[in-house]
Amino acid sequence: MRPPDAQVLPKGRPDPGDRAPGGRADGPGGLSGLSPVSLWVIALTAVAVVAGAAVHLAVVFLAIAPPNHLSQRHATGISRYLAPEFAQQWKLFAPNPSTANTHVHARAQVERPDGTLSTTRWLDLTAQDETRIAHHPLPGQAYQNQLRVAWNNFIGSLDGQGRPTGLYGSLMRQYLVRIAVRRLGPQAGGTVHRVQLRSAVTPVPAPPWSRQYADTRTSHLVQPWWTVRAEDVG
């Protein structure tokens, strides 16, 4: 026998207490439990994500694909999109070893305490870094990359006449000035007014078993004298 106050539900009718969290009695909550506005937001978001991914993949494909009419026509836009966050660097997977040894040299025009001006000898800044790195278990990143990366970036900004182009080229030039002043200043014996940099590039000779000829003569790329400002010395 059932208790007197028990309620008898018709067969086939769900108990109101068994409703799903979304408020529907026909199953668990999900997309069917969302409002039309929410569904539209989800749909537009999904379309935007897919479209963005497709554009990104297309731009990266044009950047790494062999030169073609489309990539050359939009080269400026592709470069602006990829640099610097999405720049393609494949050296981790396919190293491209350097075929030449590049050393950066610097010299300075110095005003001595007696008021005379003199020019220092060329100082091999790269050799200084190599000395600090050699046989060092934990060499500093500054000695490994600061000068090398600054010089490579500066050379990459030069136009056909050998002049740095744009704001980036000017910044790299001023960066090199500050590196040179900090290296030359302590041993210059006076106030540094101008600095001059050059690179000495020596191709790596071919291995003994190779019949390939390699001209191993050293070539120099000399930059003009650059003025040292007060903020470069601090």
Helices (H), the chain: 36-64, 69-73, 75-82, 125-133, 141, 147-156, 166-188, 230-233
At 13-50, the pLDDT tens digits run 555 555 545 444 444 556 777 888 888 999 999 999 99
pTM above 0.75, yes or no: no
Predicted local distance difference test score (pLDDT) of residue 181: 92
As a whole number of angstroms, the distance between CA 16 and CA 31 comes to 21
* Residue 168 near residue 80, CB atoms below 8 Å: no
Cβ contacts of 135 within 8 Å, gap of 6 or more: none
State the burial class of residue 16 (Cβ atoms within 10 Å of its Cβ: 0-12, 13-18, 19+): exposed
Predicted local distance difference test score (pLDDT) of residue 22: 47
Predicted local distance difference test score (pLDDT) of residue 201: 94
For the record, the structure tokens of 143 come out as: 């000695």
- Arithmetic mean of pLDDT over the chain: 82
209 pLDDT above the threshold of 60: yes
Q: What count of Cα atoms within 13 Å lies in the side-chain half-sphere of residue 222? A: 6
At 134-168, the pLDDT tens digits run 888 888 877 888 999 999 999 988 888 888 888 88
In 3D space, the residue among 32, 85, 37 whose CA is nearest the CA of residue 59 turns out to be: 85
Residue with token string 């290296």: 183
Predicted local distance difference test score (pLDDT) of residue 26: 47
C-alpha distances out from residue 146 to 13, 78, 136, Å: 77, 27, 17
Percent of the chain with pLDDT over 70: 82
At 42-89, the pLDDT tens digits run 999 999 999 999 999 998 888 888 888 888 888 888 888 877 677 666
105 pLDDT above the threshold of 90: yes
Predicted local distance difference test score (pLDDT) of residue 29: 57
In 3D space, the residue among 171, 166, 175 whose CA is nearest the CA of residue 195 turns out to be: 175
* Residue 150 near residue 177, CB atoms below 8 Å: no
123 pLDDT above the threshold of 50: yes
Predicted local distance difference test score (pLDDT) of residue 48: 95
Predicted local distance difference test score (pLDDT) of residue 28: 52
Helices 166-188 + 147-156 axis angle, to 10: 140
* Residue 233 near residue 183, CB atoms below 8 Å: no
Percent of the chain with pLDDT over 90: 35
